[in-house]
Amino acid sequence: MTSIALKSFVGLRQSSLEKHHFTVQAKPLINVQTPRRFRVVAGKFSPKVTGRNLRVAIIGGGPAGGAAAETLAKGGIETFLIERKLDNCKPCGGAIPLCMVGEFDLPLDIIDRKVTKMKMISPSNVAVDIGQTLKPHEYIGMVRREVLDAYMRNRATENGAKVINGLFLKMDMPTEDNAPYVLHFTEYDGRAGGTGDKKTLEVDAVIGADGANSRVAKSIGAGDYEYAIAFQERIKIPDEKMVYYENLAEMYVGDDVSPDFYGWVFPKCDHVAVGTGTVTHKGDIKKFQLATRNRAKDKILGGKIIRVEAHPIPEHPRPRRLAGRVALVGDAAGYVTKCSGEGIYFAAKSGRMCAEAIVEGSENGKRMVDEGDLRKYLEKWDKTYWPTYKVLDILQKVFYRSNPAREAFVEMCADEYVQKMTFDSYLYKRVVPGNPLEDLKLAVNTIGSLVRANALRREMDKLSV
């Protein structure tokens, strides 16, 4: 099998500076003893931090910020986490892969539902059942963000991080090498309302985990990106109807619910989350939300809306995710996948990876870090996840462009092999090797579905003339 070597990417673009690694095996010389093995380790030239440990501030207390704060605190870093809304309920479908439960040691009592069945529903309301390939122990976790985020922040606090209820305002850049960043913020100290107290904080490095509207990103000139608007309503439905959604989630596709995304009905502890999103038609988001409710109306009839939420979601990584000793993670960096809109796992994972790079580079808080230390996080991230983002970007462009293409997409989802490959990749966040024969059959079937979709589209165009 041909192997593909992924090169380093910076900003999800191929780096102009390629690093080549060569392995040279010399032939043994006659009558010469086996040569000694040498290992060359680059010296660490960053100055030691004296009289204290390295200080790092995380702006934003979602999964990215919580994971980063916990890792830093465990690694001997003096850690500060600044979050304005400690009870924040972000409009988020709330789906997490099975691997996240294990990787981040999440307790089962914060998971509202274990989804083992999904329905993908086409523009013409053809429903395909997904989940038949799941093993008995496998599921997609459904969480409420206010519960998950609070748990991860509290665990960071237990490990030594200081959580500040405050609003980050701006950041003064260092005036010389190794000088501190000065953060300006308003501290509320848990008080409801009021103006709060203006304060400053000096730190050696900053992690921006403050979402799509990141002020940290603006502070380092990270550049803009295209974003989607996600709109979600939490709907309390009668108990007898909630039984239907006990372990089931629904996804609706069609121009009526979104021209470039999908609508969803995801089960929570005692209600369902009904939502949709769009990049291209943000002004029509409420119209798409109404259409999503209408598509699911028979199953949510009698429900009462208990919360309405809206929030921007990035569509691609920012042009710049690192500057000096400041790095972006999670939504602030743009780590939300196209096609599926997944972001929770990638937020937490990026926060942890960035923190690990700081802990390693600082030798557990004993030395100053520099941009090179933080860049290791970006290189590792891009090498690991760039293929995932690229594939999902292609899928969205191919299958979300028209209703006939969406019909083809739903038809393809009925294939058991497609379901197995999709769930294995999603649940465990790894590239699953395919079966060559099944891959060939899938390619033929996909082409057939697209051909039928295009033929249907041409017929529909004739009728609309």
pLDDT given at position 438? 47
Share of the chain above pLDDT 70, in %: 82
Helix or strand or coil: residue 1? coil
194: pLDDT strictly greater than 80 = no
C-alpha to C-alpha distance for 231 and 208, rounded to whole angstroms: 24
pLDDT given at position 417? 84
Q: Which of 6-20, 40-54, 218-232, 419-433 has the lowest mean pLDDT?
A: 6-20
User: What mean pLDDT do residues 348-373 have?
Assistant: 97
403: pLDDT strictly greater than 80 = yes
User: What mean pLDDT do residues 340-353 have?
Assistant: 93
398: pLDDT strictly greater than 90 = no
Q: Which residue has the tokens 């939420």?
A: 309
Concatenating the DSSP letter of every residue in 203-235 gives ESEEEE---TT-HHHHHTT-----EEEEEEEEE
444: number of Cβ within 10 Å:
10
Helix or strand or coil: residue 271? coil
User: What mean pLDDT do residues 444-457 have?
Assistant: 51
110: pLDDT strictly greater than 50 = yes
In this prediction the pTM is: 0.84
C-alpha to C-alpha distance for 39 and 161, rounded to whole angstroms: 36
User: What mean pLDDT do residues 435-463 have?
Assistant: 50
pLDDT given at position 462? 52
48 class by beta-carbon count within 10 Å (0-12 exposed, 13-18 middle, 19+ buried): exposed
Strands 13-14 and 9-10: antiparallel
65: pLDDT strictly greater than 70 = yes
179: number of Cβ within 10 Å:
12
pLDDT given at position 428? 87
Strands 326-328 and 205-208: parallel
3-state secondary structure string across the chain: CCCCCCCCEECCEECCCCCCCCCCCCCCCCCCCCCCCCCCCCCCCCCECCCCCCEEEEECCCHHHHHHHHHHHHCCCEEEEEECCCCCCCCCCCEECHHHHHHCCCCHHHCCEEECEEEEECCCCCEEEECCCCCCCCCEEECCHHHHHHHHHHHHHHCCCEEEEEEEEEEECCCCCCCCEEEEEEECCCCCCCCCEEEEEEECEEEECCCCCCHHHHHCCCCCCCEEEEEEEEEECCHHHHHHHCCEEEEEEECCCEEEEEEEEEECCCCEEEEEEECCCHHHHHHHHHHHHHHCHHHHCCCEEEEEEEEEEECCCCCCCEECCEEECHHHHCCCCCCCCCCHHHHHHHHHHHHHHHHHHCCCCCECCCHHHHHHHHHHHHHHHHHHHHHHHHHHHHHCCCHHHHHHHHHHHCCHHHHHHHHHHHHHCCCCCCCHHHHHHHHHHHHHHHHHHHHHHHHHHHHHC
- Predicted confidence (pLDDT) per residue in 288-307, tens digit: 999 999 999 999 999 999 99
C-alpha to C-alpha distance for 375 and 447, rounded to whole angstroms: 41
Concatenating the DSSP letter of every residue in 430-455 gives SPPPPPHHHHHHHHHHHHHHHHHHHH
User: What mean pLDDT do residues 425-441 have?
Assistant: 62
Concatenating the DSSP letter of every residue in 57-99 gives EEE--SHHHHHHHHHHHHTT-EEEEEES-TT-------EE-HH
Confidence of residue 458 (pLDDT cuts 50, 70, 90): low
Which domains are present in the chain?
45-90+144-225+315-400 (3.50.50.60), 401-464 (no CATH)
CA distances from 24 to 15, 27, 319 (A): 25, 10, 37
